Amino acid sequence: MVAELTIDLPWIDRSSRAVEGLDVRRGRPARLTYDDGIVLEVRVIDPGVHASAADVIEEARRAGGPGRVVLVAGAVPPAWRAALRDAGVSFVDVSGVAAVDWPRIQVDARRFGRSVRRHRPPLPLQKGHGAVVQELLVQAFDGVQPSIGELASGAGVSVPTASKAVSQLTDHGLVVKHRVGARLSIEVVDRVTVARRLADGTGWPGAETVAGYAWGRTVFDVAARLSEAADRAGVEVAVTGRVGAAHLGVLGTSSPPEVRAWVRAPGGDLAGAAEDLGLEPVSGEDANVVLSRDRWGVGVGRRRTLAFDGRPAWVAHPVRLWCDLHAERRGSEYAAQMWSVVSRGR
The CATH number linked to 260 is 3.30.460
State how far the Cα of 166 lies from the Cα of 154, in Å rounded to an integer.
14
Amino acid 118: pLDDT: 40
The fraction of the chain above a pLDDT of 90, given in percent, is 61
Q: Residue 327, exposed/middle/buried by CB under 10 A (0-12, 13-18, 19+)?
A: middle
For the segment 216-265, what is each residue's pLDDT rounded down to a tens digit?
999 999 999 999 999 999 999 999 999 999 999 998 888 899 999 999 98
> Do 263 and 270 touch, CB atoms closer than 8 A?
yes
Same domain, 230 and 175: no
Same domain, 215 and 192: no
Q: Average pLDDT of the chain?
A: 89
State how far the Cα of 336 lies from the Cα of 345, in Å rounded to an integer.
15
User: Of 242, 250, 211, 247, whose CA–CA distance to 325 is shortest?
Assistant: 242
Q: Is residue 121 in a domain?
A: no
Q: Is residue 90 in a domain?
A: yes
For the segment 1-29, what is each residue's pLDDT rounded down to a tens digit?
689 999 888 777 766 677 778 888 888 89
Amino acid 72: pLDDT: 94
State how far the Cα of 139 lies from the Cα of 135, in Å rounded to an integer.
6
**What would the mean pLDDT of 85-108 be, rounded to a whole number?**
89
Whether residue 274 is predicted with pLDDT greater than 50 in this model: the reply is yes
For the segment 283-292, what is each residue's pLDDT rounded down to a tens digit?
778 999 999 9
The dihedral through the CA atoms of 316, 321, 327, 331 has a sign that is positive
Same domain, 192 and 219: no
The CATH number linked to 141 is 1.10.10.10
Under the banding of pLDDT at 50, 70 and 90, the label for residue 346 is: low
Amino acid 345: pLDDT: 65
Task: Mark out the alpha helices in 48-190 (DSSP H runs).
Answer: 53-63, 78-86, 129-141, 148-155, 159-171
Same domain, 218 and 326: yes
Better pLDDT: 28 or 153: 153
State how far the Cα of 203 lies from the Cα of 197, in Å rounded to an integer.
9
Q: Is residue 236 in a domain?
A: yes
Amino acid 80: pLDDT: 93
User: Of 309, 328, 319, whose CA–CA distance to 346 is shortest?
Assistant: 319
Q: Is residue 80 in a domain?
A: yes
Same domain, 217 and 315: yes
> Do 134 and 127 touch, CB atoms closer than 8 A?
no
Same domain, 184 and 275: no
Same domain, 238 and 193: no
Overall domain count for the chain: 3
Q: Is residue 123 in a domain?
A: no
Amino acid 1: pLDDT: 67
Same domain, 259 and 312: yes
Q: Is residue 115 in a domain?
A: no
Same domain, 159 and 254: no
> Do 26 and 55 touch, CB atoms closer than 8 A?
no
User: CB count, 10 Å around CB of 203?
Assistant: 20
Cis bond upstream, residue 318 (ω within 30): no
Under the banding of pLDDT at 50, 70 and 90, the label for residue 119 is: very low
Better pLDDT: 1 or 101: 101
Measured at the alpha carbon of residue 321, what is the angle toward residues 203 and 290, in degrees to the nearest 5? 65
Same domain, 216 and 331: yes
Q: Is residue 122 in a domain?
A: no
Whether residue 116 is predicted with pLDDT greater than 80 in this model: the reply is no
Which helix (H) or strand (E) covers residue 178, if one does? strand 175-180
**What would the mean pLDDT of 164-189 be, rounded to a whole number?**
90
User: Of 323, 252, 257, whose CA–CA distance to 294 is shortest?
Assistant: 323
The last residue of a domain, from among 147, 167, 201: 201
Residues spanned by the domain of 284: 209-344
Better pLDDT: 329 or 125: 329
Overall pTM surpassing 0.85 (yes/no): no
Q: Is residue 192 in a domain?
A: yes
Same domain, 166 and 224: no
Same domain, 166 and 283: no
